[in-house]
């Protein structure tokens, strides 16, 4: 699965000062680096202070508003502002992102592709596209609403939230590709993340999950891959994974890099 484009990321003299307290504290100071397509970079944190995660968020444009950032970040030699948003980048935060309990693994990835690329959170958009591509059996299996996050507003299947409209099918297809391409991409991601046996299993509620914590972590990473980002940020991707899924994630990163992606991750060094 190749990236849509290539991205070279350069960061120069990065400094981050945390002002969330009585005394300002400089957490990151004078850090520079460069990572190109077909390369990966791992930022190690021997002190376990969280400085590596802060640096990752700074260069990804996700630093806390409570801090002050100095330095320059460039993507393909173009200077980026403090609050930039890269269209072809993805950020996987530490821990598991909220997922809809009613959806299967495959449906979760389908919704992620459609909702992110069309900037719409209405199920009407997703069901409209779905019904144009698949038979009624697949469409009827979709839930009546899908919260984008657990605490989000719930949209019904008519898109009845204020001002919600259905995105034209040709616009959706231009953004995500044809249905055949999207389905193949999702199958490839499911296989790469070791979720093939769970592809049609519902995620389940927090009180009764059908996926283990390690499998949920793999799903969290998979969600960020559906739109073929060329630049991928991973915050401590191996944290709390069992040995098998640690190997799955490591091999997935190698595959992504071999496909032309630029990958930057953090990792805590082992303690004695």
Evaluate if residue 145 carries a pLDDT over 50.
no
- pTM score over 0.95: no
Quickly list H helices, the chain.
51-59, 105-118, 123-133, 136-140, 169-176, 179-192, 213-223, 243-258
116 pLDDT tier (thresholds 50, 70, 90): low
- Measured over the CA atoms of residue 234, residue 239, residue 244 and residue 250, the dihedral's sign is positive
- Exposure letters 43-73 (e unless 16+ CB within 10 A, then b): bebeeeeebbbbbbbbbbbebeeebebebeb
- Exposure letters 135-149 (e unless 16+ CB within 10 A, then b): eeeebeebbebbbbe
Q: Determine the Cα–Cα distance for residues 68 and 201; give it in Å rounded to an integer.
A: 44
Q: What is the pLDDT of residues 46-91, one digit of tens each?
A: 766 788 999 999 998 888 767 888 999 998 888 876 445 556 788 9
């Amino acid at each position: 699965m190749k990236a849509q484009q290539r991205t070279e990321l350069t960061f120069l003299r990065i400094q981050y000062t945390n002002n969330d307290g009585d005394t300002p504290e400089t957490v990151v100071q004078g850090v520079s680096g460069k990572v190109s397509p077909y390369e990966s970079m791992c930022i190690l944190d021997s002190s376990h202070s969280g400085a590596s995660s802060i640096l990752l968020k700074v260069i990804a444009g996700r630093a806390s508003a409570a801090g002050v950032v100095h330095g320059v970040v460039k993507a393909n030699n173009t200077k980026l502002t403090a609050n930039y948003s890269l269209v072809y980048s993805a950020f996987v935060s530490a821990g598991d992102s909220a997922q809809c309990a009613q959806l299967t693994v495959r449906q979760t990835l389908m919704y992620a592709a459609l909702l992110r690329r069309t900037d719409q959170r209405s199920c009407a958009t997703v069901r409209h596209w779905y019904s144009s591509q698949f038979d009624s059996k697949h469409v009827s299996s979709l839930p009546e609403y899908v919260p984008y996050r657990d605490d989000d507003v719930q949209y019904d299947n008519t898109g009845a939230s204020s001002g919600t409209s259905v995105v034209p099918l040709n616009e959706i297809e231009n953004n995500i590709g044809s249905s055949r391409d999207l389905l193949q991409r999702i199958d490839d991601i499911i296989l790469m993340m070791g979720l093939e046996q769970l592809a049609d299993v519902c995620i389940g509620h927090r009180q009764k999950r059908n996926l283990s914590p390690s499998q949920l972590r793999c799903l969290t990473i998979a969600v960020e891959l559906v739109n073929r980002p060329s630049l991928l940020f991973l915050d401590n991707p191996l944290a709390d994974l069992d040995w098998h899924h640690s190997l799955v994630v490591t091999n997935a990163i190698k595959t992504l890099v071999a496909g032309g992606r630029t990958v930057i991750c953090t990792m805590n060094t082992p303690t004695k």
